[in-house]
Amino acid sequence: MATDTARRTLVVAGNGMVGQKLLEVLVERGATVEWDIVTFCEEGRLAYDRVGLSSFFTGTSAEELSLVAPGFFDSAGLEVHVGDAVASIDTEAGKVVSTRGTRIAYDALVLATGSYPFVPPVPGKDLPGCHVYRTLDDLEAIRADAQGRRVGAVVGGGLLGLEAANALRSLGLETHVVEFAPRLMPVQVDDGGGSALRRRIEDLGVSVHTGIATSEILEGPDGRVCGMRFAGEDDADLPVDLVVFSAGIRPRDQLAREAGLAVGERGGVVVDAACRTSDPRIFAIGECALAEGRIWGLVAPGYQMARVVADRILGGESTFGGADLSTKLKLMGIDVASFGDGFAATPGAESIVFSDPVANVYKRLVLSGDGSQVLGGILVGDASMYQTLVQMVRGDMPTPPNCEELVLPVRTGDGAAVGMGVESLSDTAMVCSCNSVSKGAICAAVQGGAVDVPALKACTAAGTGCGGCVPVVTDLLKLELRKAGIEVRNNLCEHFDYSRAELFDIVRVHRLTSFSQVLADHGRGLGCEVCKPAVASMFASLGVGGGYILERSQAPLQDTNDHFLANLQRDGTYSVIPRVPGGEITPDQLIVIGQVAKDYGLYCKITGGQRIDLLGARVDHLPEIWSRLIDAGMESGHAYGKALRTVKSCVGTTWCRYGVQDSTSLAIEIELRYRGLRAPHKLKSAVSGCTRECAEAQSKDFGIIATEQGWNLYVCGNGGMRPQHAQLLVEGVDHDILIRTIDRFLGYYIRTADRLERTATWLNKLEGGLDHLKAVVLDDALGICAELDAEMDRHVAEYECEWAATINDPEKVARFRTFVNSDEPDPNVVFVAERGQRRPAFSHEKQEVRSS
């Protein structure tokens, strides 16, 4: 801790999205301990969501658009001047003067002044009825002015222009878009994409005029706008009542210019990789900054700059090295995406184009000359393959040989897949049962500025109890951010800029076998409790080290459950669950389990998965307990792992009067086939011998129901926190097809799911849903089935009980000790008797036990 108590002052000029992000990061990182942070907010409103601005016209209030949590500026060390702006900077003295005359000496100054709309210098541009589209005040002015008007036009057919057009449309005006370039969104899409986009927009009743230049805004007899005139001789005048200019942005660099800071030839405050201007005490971020030689007109790079500057102010070394400008957005309900080298600028690049002029879908895929690598693309009308294609561009996912299928419509579809993700939850749905937090409360918190999971936990308490809802909270967060147009990266943790699926492909394709190598080549830092077990699970799924999870370099990566091959309980003891395949167990095995439980004082409970849980085992007893169970012919049940748990079954034709097939034998075969298979989360299965469904197969990750014709396979069901019925994947198939289909389903899930994402959630989020899954595992649409089959065959061939492997290795057994320097047990583990067994004492009971 620094002993220097002298406080320093940071002045932030601007409270837009990026300026506010800077404040949030600084507060979160504890900067206010040493810094007084003074913000000047020129607008009469604190930071709000400019990306979602057009929703203002469809009912979203200014308050809902706010990005500043109530009371945010009340915290110690924060001060904000609303309606006041920095007017001048004295760089020598290190002082700013505000418009209202406030003078403040600064130790560091951050310019976050943003941009202003570019208005082409045409006569009449300042007439009443002419507007720009940038701030909430602008929008309020447009709304007030649109009252009683009939026709509106937007100058500019780019991203913002179309947003503005949507706004005019929402206000009930006949809407025209006038674009100088030969097509709409000229920066993001090519002519083909522009045409599809144009037809779709025209279908919505918006008139599009491309390739024409506005030369004059015409004045009517009442002194306000009455029409537009164009430069082309053949272009007739367009009568309009209202004009919105949205023809691009320009950086607000006036303040920097006057202070003598370096600015770019075409504007923008020049900054280095630290986002530092030519004056070392002054930074610039967001749309006023010229970083890497350009203005970054998206919010995500602005946020990156904010984080870099926050880190620099706190003495860090972060740098801004540019950002990926791949974008996917919904404009007036139309999907538009542009990524990588969409215009095929790479020498030798080839394009595959799919164009459906009836449905107005356009897809262009740009490939390297030899077709081996996706370089980029443009998607209009259907951007469902965006994520996959972006991963291919980044090289994180291999480009399949039959690339054309990536842009062709999936042929097996029986209709559109229904989205069942968190979006389908009602606002009142309880997400965090521990703290009674509803979906609505979480979404409101995100809109209120809680833009990451820790912030959401802090302001709603969701996820701070048992933590079971954190995946749902995370999905809601991403959903809200996506709605707000913020690019959501699905990074595993701070050590990797990849999602689990991306990292899995990296590990698989590069055949990486150690965490240190994965971290050195693709990550940073030392790793953590999130990425280490995730990578260890990938190694296990891929058979690294023969699939043995306590192999020397892998042991330190495992969560305590996998490390001790048992489940940690609340008192620090562990539970033991031997595998009982299909729920079938012999009397002799039952006797051994009972005897072991008596000898080690274990509490016994029958689980929901048809097996027996033995609780309260001390770490140092685990190897002895397992030796005895293994001697009796039992093996690990992997109850501690993110792996296959149980395959529940009914007695089927063996005993039941109604059974139509031998469900028990199939359940045992399946349980033995997939035992030990590591996955992003636990896997449960069941086999029912007839449609009475006594094994409850439709609530499992994969469940099988016997019919007279063969087996029906249902997938992605769930009991647990959010019950969900499994969906039918194949019907009436024979044994071999059934097994292969399950192999591929599990393989595809393991490759592509997020960490701790059950199959039900995975399917809900899978683009294309069940139809896509069918295409992949039944029709081999991605050309990966041979690989998935081989991976599962290897798993089956290499499986070994990890408890047997552990007790046969004295060095491994030696790890099962409570203390390195004593054989004593943990004195903090205290039991009390209840209903003829023992259970861990609660803290008030411990005192009684100790004192007696």
Partner 1 sequence: MTAILDTATLTWQDVCAFDDLVPDRGACALVDGRQVALFRVSPTDELFALSNHDPFSGANVISRGIVGSKGDVPKVASPMYKQSFDLRTGTCLDDPAVSLPVHLIRERDGRVEVAIT
Q: Which residues form the interface with partner 1 (CB under 8 A)?
A: 316, 454, 467, 494-495, 516, 525-529, 531-533, 555-557, 559-560, 563-564, 568, 570-572, 815, 818-822, 824, 826, 828, 843
Minimum distance of partner 1 from residue 500's CB (angstroms)? 17
Phi, psi of 368 (to 5 degrees): -65, 160
Instruction: Find out whether 754 and 499 touch, Cβ atoms under 8 Å.
Output: yes
Beta strands in 341-469 (DSSP E): 350-356, 361-367, 374-380, 430-432, 437-438
CA angle 643, 644, 648 (to 5 degrees): 155
Minimum distance of partner 1 from residue 560's CB (angstroms)? 4
Minimum distance of partner 1 from residue 833's CB (angstroms)? 21
Instruction: Find out whether 509 and 492 touch, Cβ atoms under 8 Å.
Output: no
209 vs 846 by CB, closer to partner 1: 846
526 vs 804 by CB, closer to partner 1: 526
Minimum distance of partner 1 from residue 667's CB (angstroms)? 33
What order do you get walking across the sheet with 374-380 strand by strand? Answer: 327-331, 334-340, 374-380, 361-367, 350-356
HSE-up of 172 (CA within 13 Å, CB side)? 8
- The secondary element (H helix, E strand) that includes residue 794 is helix 785-798
835 vs 844 by CB, closer to partner 1: 844
Contacts of 1 (CB under 8 A, 6+ apart): none
Minimum distance of partner 1 from residue 569's CB (angstroms)? 9
Q: What is the DSSP string of 82-138?
A: ET--EEEEETTTTEEEETT--EEE-SEEEE---EEE-----TTTTSTTEEE-SSHHH
311 vs 635 by CB, closer to partner 1: 311
56 vs 564 by CB, closer to partner 1: 564
- Cα distances from 145 to residues 57, 124, 182, 344, in angstroms, run 13, 17, 30, 44
564 vs 762 by CB, closer to partner 1: 564
Spell 557-584 as b/e; 16+ CB within 10 A means b.
Answer: bbbebbbbbbbbbebebbbbbbbbbbbb
Minimum distance of partner 1 from residue 820's CB (angstroms)? 4
Minimum distance of partner 1 from residue 431's CB (angstroms)? 18
69 vs 555 by CB, closer to partner 1: 555
Q: CB count, 10 Å around CB of 346?
A: 16
Minimum distance of partner 1 from residue 756's CB (angstroms)? 12
- Which structure tokens are listed for 106? 């600064």
Phi, psi of 703 (to 5 degrees): -135, 145
Minimum distance of partner 1 from residue 761's CB (angstroms)? 20
Minimum distance of partner 1 from residue 22's CB (angstroms)? 17
172 vs 454 by CB, closer to partner 1: 454
Minimum distance of partner 1 from residue 384's CB (angstroms)? 35
Minimum distance of partner 1 from residue 468's CB (angstroms)? 12
77 vs 572 by CB, closer to partner 1: 572
Please classify residue 324 by burial: count the beta carbons closer than 10 Å to its beta carbon, then call 0-12 exposed, 13-18 middle and 19+ buried. middle
Angle separating helix axes 785-798 and 769-777, nearest 10 degrees: 70
DSSP 688: E
Instruction: Find out whether 316 and 345 touch, Cβ atoms under 8 Å.
Output: no
797 vs 820 by CB, closer to partner 1: 820
40 vs 603 by CB, closer to partner 1: 603
Minimum distance of partner 1 from residue 304's CB (angstroms)? 16
252 vs 532 by CB, closer to partner 1: 532
Minimum distance of partner 1 from residue 528's CB (angstroms)? 3
Closest CA to 337 of 204, 189, 485: 189
Contacts of 419 (CB under 8 A, 6+ apart): 764, 769
Contacts of 254 (CB under 8 A, 6+ apart): none
What order do you get walking across the sheet with 78-82 strand by strand? Answer: 78-82, 35-41, 8-13, 108-111, 282-284
Minimum distance of partner 1 from residue 843's CB (angstroms)? 6
Instruction: Find out whether 483 and 489 touch, Cβ atoms under 8 Å.
Output: no
408 vs 814 by CB, closer to partner 1: 814
Minimum distance of partner 1 from residue 309's CB (angstroms)? 16
62 vs 520 by CB, closer to partner 1: 520
Beta strands in 727-798 (DSSP E): 727-733
- Alpha helices per DSSP H over 396-523: 404-407, 439-447, 453-460, 470-483, 500-509, 515-522
106 vs 640 by CB, closer to partner 1: 640
Cα 271 from Cα 266, distance rounded (Å): 14
426 vs 843 by CB, closer to partner 1: 843
Cα 842 from Cα 834, distance rounded (Å): 12
- Cα distances from 265 to residues 223, 253, 503, 528, in angstroms, run 38, 12, 41, 45
360 vs 558 by CB, closer to partner 1: 558
102 vs 553 by CB, closer to partner 1: 553
Minimum distance of partner 1 from residue 616's CB (angstroms)? 13
Cα 406 from Cα 781, distance rounded (Å): 9
- The secondary element (H helix, E strand) that includes residue 629 is helix 622-631
- Which structure tokens are listed for 95? 């002082």
Minimum distance of partner 1 from residue 61's CB (angstroms)? 34
CA angle 839, 641, 633 (to 5 degrees): 80
Q: CB count, 10 Å around CB of 846?
A: 17
